[in-house]
Amino acid sequence: MKAPIETQSRVKKLRELIEYHRKQYHELDSPKLSDEAYDALVKELVDLETQYSDLQSADSPTHRIGGAPLESFKKVSHAVAQWSFDNAFDSEDIADWKERMIRYLLREQNIIVKKMSFCAEHKIDGLKVILTYKDGVFVAGATRGDGTVGEDVTVNLKTIESIPLRLSQAVDCIVEGEAWLPKKELVRINEERAVKREALFANARNVAAGTLRQLDPKIVRSRKLNCFVYDIDFFDGKKTSFSMPDTQEGELKLLQKLGFSVSDTYAVCNTPEEVERYYKKWSTERQTLPYGVDGVVLKVNKRGLQLALGYTAKAPRFGIAYKFPAVQTTTVVLDIVLQVGRTGVLTPVANLRPVLIDGSTVSRATLHNEDEIKRLDVRVGDTVVLQKAGDVIPDIVEVLKDLRPKKSKAFVFPSYVALCGGDGSIERVPGQSAYRCVNKNSGAQLQRKFEYFVSKKAFAIDGLGKKIIEQLMDEELLVSFDDIFMLSFENLEHLEGFGEKSAQKLLASIEKSRTVTLGRFVTSLSIPQVGEETAEDLAKQYGTLENLMASAGSMQDLQGIGPIIAESVRVWFDEPENKKLIERLKKCVTIMEQKKQSGGVLSKKMFVITGTLPTLSRDEAKELIKKAGGSVSGSVSSKTSFVLAGENPGDKLSTAKKLSITVISEQELLKMLHG
């Protein structure tokens, strides 16, 4: 049924009026209409578009309204790879970063740069989103995910009023932005939750991230998220007069012209002094902002230089996150408990009086090991200084001993730990400041091993999380790793929280994981001393599981494999029960052969990297060394061939000199590689 002309006119006016009030509220922060009145206008438009199908349009404001709840989010591959920034914490870090860029441009691009300006922007504490437009119409939105694959949250993003459904120009583009929750909205949400006696949210960032992953778009809309867009990944102006600007500042202005909401706090800084002024201003004034911010993002302003600088393996060379100073607060240690890891090592953890630090409620902090407890002399009842820098897990940095209770006692590692199972006895790990369970198959330890077996580093079985593993172990459905691949629909359907779809979904995920690389397979076994990187090294050295097992008793001569690791691998593969486990697993999974490590100019050479290199990150240097046949260790020993040293090298350089190990620079390494 076609809408009458007067209805068409009414719909047109409604859309224009709703769009006007949307901008007044979200972009100009000057609402002219109450929420209730605004919602009434939107409802009228919804009713008319529902009645007359010819009035429906992809860019209608009604597309912001939540529809039926979704069952799940599908994964989407990003057309343009997504990155995260490296961090800087002081002006020296910024100066080093600038010098690295200048040297890189000269060496790799033969570009001489005497002056470099930067575009400074707030590093908003929200959730990164990637928005795709075709002919100016919003067609897809996704989370960052792992940088290659994200979650399709298009429906939820359409509920955010500050994200335009149609741009001012019919261009094709992919843009990056930050979805965030206003501080005042967090207060409102928590007030409502308090009335309902529900747990309060700790910070706006968590709410923003959790909200965009809600399966019900109506919930998303009710929380009034906002979004600032700050970068263009792809741009095609087509028949318009718009083209890609030649500066970062120009990109922000273009985004504004297209109709995106852009933070107006950015500034172009032409000198280090201007960068510091901008940084210190917002470090001091950030509490006045309507959103959370944990630092400043600096990008080289000239786009030509951005393209010339390019990216490292994990971050853009032309940009950096200049984090605000570490946040500290005080709290009280309520208890010190021991946590059992997958290899049986016991980690002391301080249970704290819950405290808000840098926007997050913290109630636990790791104490690492016995030496750390003695160094701090931390005790139950102590008042401690807790510090959090950026995204780092909070640390106890000091004990305020003047506030210590009179009858406090120093913490002593017990001889009995119930989580260790059996007789609960523990023992000191030879040569380390750590304790471990004597019983190698305690319930807690076995659960950690199962969690590690299904993790992304190993078999990557989606949907088999901690709670489900615990439930399956309680039902005695999981006793050994191979039991995972023997699970059936009948095993799962009666378990709490499982329905037909969820059971089938988990079984499909398990089936998908049955093919695994040798490196991931070795990682999954939780062999003591063998982490992800060592497992990959072993896989490249031996190629097949059969070769690895046959050589388990004679691998101490391999580069990068010391006597402790070699002995640990030998003992593990010699254990009869482990041999039986391997045979059972081989019947359940396919282990892909990996190419053996080939020779190269650095074959049989072991390197240790220390300090900040002029142009290479540590990961880049490590990758270059490995590709050339060399290996990289974390500590200097008599087996070390070279120490690759940059600025601020630390104790490793001193150790190298004592052992008469050759110390080389980045330039000397590159000469070894390229002659």
User: What average pLDDT does range 187-200 have in this prediction?
Assistant: 84
pLDDT exceeds cutoff 60 at 128: yes
Q: Taking 50 as the threshold, does the pLDDT of residue 65 lie above it?
A: no
Among residues 620, 477, 635, the alpha carbon closest in space to that of 108 is found at 620
Q: What pLDDT score was predicted for residue 64?
A: 55
Residue 269 pLDDT exceeds 90 = yes
Residue 359: its pLDDT value, please? 60
pLDDT confidence tier of residue 176, bands split at 50, 70 and 90: very high
Q: What is the mean pLDDT of residues 600-616?
A: 82
Nearest residue to 126 (alpha-carbon basis) of 165, 157, 97: 157
Q: What is the pLDDT of residues 524-578, one digit of tens each?
A: 998 888 888 788 888 888 888 998 888 876 775 565 577 778 888 888 888 888 8
pLDDT: is 274 or 341 the higher one?
274
Give the single-character DSSP code of 575.
S
Question: What's the confidence (pLDDT) of residue 29?
Answer: 42
As given in the structure block, the two tokens for residue 265 are: 């706090």
pLDDT in tens, 9-29: 888 888 888 888 777 754 454
Tell me what pLDDT residue 203 has.
74
Specify the pLDDT at position 66: 37
Question: For 463-468, what is the mean pLDDT?
Answer: 89
| Residue 37, pLDDT above cutoff 70 | no
Instruction: For the chain, count helices (H), then strands (E).
Output: 23, 24
Read off the pLDDT band of 246 (50, 70, 90).
Answer: very high
Which residues does residue 399 pair with via DSSP β-bridges, in sequence order?
A: 384
With beta carbons less than 8 A apart as the criterion, state whether 439 and 421 touch: yes
**Better-predicted residue by pLDDT, 319 or 466:** 319
Instruction: Assess whether pLDDT exceeds 60 at residue 520.
Output: yes
User: What pLDDT digit, counting tens, does each position of 471-503 carry?
Assistant: 888 777 887 888 899 888 878 877 888 888 888
Is residue 12 annotated as part of the catalytic site, yes or no? no
Of residues 320 and 84, the one with the higher pLDDT is 320
Q: What letter represents residue 216's amino acid?
A: D
Residue spans of beta strands (DSSP E) within 280-429? 293-300, 319-323, 327-340, 345-357, 360-366, 383-388, 395-399, 426-428
Domains and CATH numbers, the chain: 5-64 (1.10.287.610), 96-323 (3.30.470.30), 327-418 (2.40.50.140), 443-513 (1.10.150.20), 517-592 (1.10.150.20), 606-674 (3.40.50.10190)
Q: What is the pLDDT of residues 91-104, one digit of tens each?
A: 888 999 999 999 99
Distance CA 553, CA 601 (A): 28
pLDDT level of residue 40 (50, 70, 90 thresholds): low
- Residue 31, pLDDT score: 61
Q: Tell me the pLDDT band of 228, cut-offs 50, 70 and 90.
A: very high
Average pLDDT of the chain to the nearest whole number: 85
Name the H helices within 27-59.
35-51
- How far is it, in rounded angstroms, from Cα 222 to Cα 118? 38
Q: Give the confidence band of 424 by pLDDT, cuts at 50, 70, 90.
A: confident
317 pLDDT more than 70 = yes
- Assign 119 a pLDDT band (cuts: 50, 70, 90): very high
Check residues 424 and 367 and name the one with the higher pLDDT: 367
Residue 636 has pLDDT above 80, yes or no: yes
Q: The whole model's pTM is what?
A: 0.51
Which of 81-90, 419-428, 502-511, 556-565 is predicted with the least confidence, judged by mean pLDDT?
Answer: 556-565
Mean pLDDT, residues 422-443:
81
Q: Which residues contact 490 (CB under 8 A, 6 or more apart)?
A: none
- Residue 324 is given by DSSP the state P
Lowest-confidence region among 251-265, 380-394, 658-672: 380-394
DSSP 237-304: -TTSS----SBHHHHHHHHHHHT----TT-EEE-SHHHHHHHHHHHHHHGGGSSS-EEEEEEEESBHH
Of residues 314 and 383, more confidently modeled? 383
- Percent of the chain residues past pLDDT 70, beyond the cut: 92
| Strands in 40-196 per DSSP E | 75-77, 87-88, 118-124, 127-134, 137-143, 149-151, 172-180
Answer yes or no: is pLDDT of 225 > 90.
yes
Q: Is a pLDDT exceeding 90 seen at residue 442? A: no
Average pLDDT over residues 121-132: 93
Residue 39, pLDDT score: 62
Render pLDDT for 144-155 as a digit per residue (tens, 0 to 9). 887 888 889 999
Per-residue pLDDT, 67: 39
Quickly state the pLDDT bin for 360 (edges 50, 70, 90).
low
Q: How confident is the model at residue 266 (pLDDT cuts 50, 70, 90)?
A: very high
Which of 13, 32, 123, 627 is catalytic? The answer is: 123
* Whole-number pLDDT of residue 268: 97
Bridge partners of 127? 179
Q: Higher model confidence: residue 165 or residue 593?
A: 165
